[in-house]
Amino acid sequence: MVFCLPNGMKPRVFSGVQPSGDLHIGNYLGALKNWVKMQADYECIYCIVDLHAVTIYQIPSELRAKIRELAGLFLAVGIDPKQATVMVQSSVPAHAELAWMLTCVTPVGWLQRMTQYKAKAATQETVGDGLLQYPVLMAADILLYQAQIVPVGDDQTQHLELTRDIAQRFNSLYGETFVMPQTHLPLVGARIMGLDDPESKMSKSSSAPGHAVALLDPPDVIRKKIMRATTDSRPAVNFDDLGPGVRNLLNIFQAFSDWSDAEMRAHFEGLGYGETKKRVAEMVIASLEPIQRRYREVCAEPGYIDRVLREGAERVLPIANSTIELVKERMGLYTFAS
């Protein structure tokens, strides 16, 4: 799907990942794989959202390391900094600035209804205000760049709906200001489930050892996790009656391989679960091997990651500043007389 603008300009894409926990195959298949595909046809901005990560306490030294690891992984999966912009959220202060302005037009009830807020708040002894404001900051990320398209996994659709609601409310109060962003989900892989519990989504925050395959897991660890994945008591794969565990494994295989439904059926129908898991594990290992190799290369190049992040911030700064100027002007906030 290619969105066209009348003047031949490329539509703008924005998306982000939190530098918390280990990046897993759900993040890759739900978001990053799509990001790589889009970079040739769109003007893409891919962001490491560190201000979002600190809505839950992070050990500072670990957060610093995670930001660089994530940047390295963006590059390793195939994001090309010559085509797409890779940047860190806190390096462009306008994200936080716009978030404040949007907070002022967002009813608190909208935020209290967010399912991710309710789920995360339930795990915290003290709920920081940042956790409630999380989706407003996310709206600011997107609206700051007037992004038309936001490629994400299925778990972010509610946040994207809220982003549109906030933009609409702002536009109706202050006049047309923000472009309405569209959610872009992958056809396969939008919601990868936990290997240990196929009823809940694979999540970076789970500490269960067999829950997720991390992008940097070595082959023997991947094999072990997939061979131990929860399935059911049916004897073999039956596409007309798939249990959630097997469906998830086949989904993972299909998202990595890009096979059609017909190819999947021809290959897996009637196959025992042991052999099915072996084939899924080998597909995952083979797909992650070049990413892991490239990751080692990227990290071995002194200064490379920092250079990419600095250039990324410099590249987006004029867009961010012009949106802030427009929003200030619309809201009647003070701007220096020219």
**Closest residue to ligand TYM, based on beta-carbon distance:** 30
175 φψ region: left (φ > 0), alpha (ψ -120 to 50), beta (else): left
Q: How far is CA 118 from CA 112, 127, 229, 283, 328, in A?
A: 7, 10, 28, 36, 32
Q: Is 204 a catalytic residue?
A: yes
Report the C-alpha gap between 100 and 131 in whole angstroms. Answer: 14
Report the C-alpha gap between 103 and 158 in whole angstroms. Answer: 17
CB of 187 to ligand TYM, least distance (A): 12
CB of 198 to ligand TYM, least distance (A): 11
Q: Is 201 a catalytic residue?
A: yes
CB of 270 to ligand TYM, least distance (A): 28
By beta-carbon proximity to ligand TYM, the closer residue of 30 and 312 is 30
Angle at 174 between CA 170 and CA 179, to 5 degrees: 50
By beta-carbon proximity to ligand TYM, the closer residue of 41 and 154 is 154
The CA-based diameter of the chain, rounded to the nearest angstrom, is: 75
By beta-carbon proximity to ligand TYM, the closer residue of 154 and 271 is 154
- Please identify which of the residues 33, 66, 201, 277 carries the catalytic annotation: 201
Q: For residues 8 and 49, is the Cβ–Cβ distance under 8 A?
A: no
By beta-carbon proximity to ligand TYM, the closer residue of 136 and 324 is 136
Q: What one-character DSSP code corresponds to residue 29?
A: I
CB of 48 to ligand TYM, least distance (A): 9
- Please identify which of the residues 120, 224, 278, 328 carries the catalytic annotation: 120
Report the C-alpha gap between 10 and 4 in whole angstroms. Answer: 7
- Please identify which of the residues 204, 224, 278, 328 carries the catalytic annotation: 204
By beta-carbon proximity to ligand TYM, the closer residue of 25 and 281 is 25
Coil, helix or strand for 150? Answer: strand
CB of 103 to ligand TYM, least distance (A): 15
> Which spans of this chain sit near ligand TYM (rule: CB under 6 A)?
14-18, 26-27, 29-31, 49, 52, 138, 141-142, 150, 152-153, 155-156, 159, 190-192, 201-202
Sheet arrangement for strand 149-151: 85-88, 43-48, 12-17, 149-151, 182-184
Mind telling me the catalytic residues? 120, 201, 204
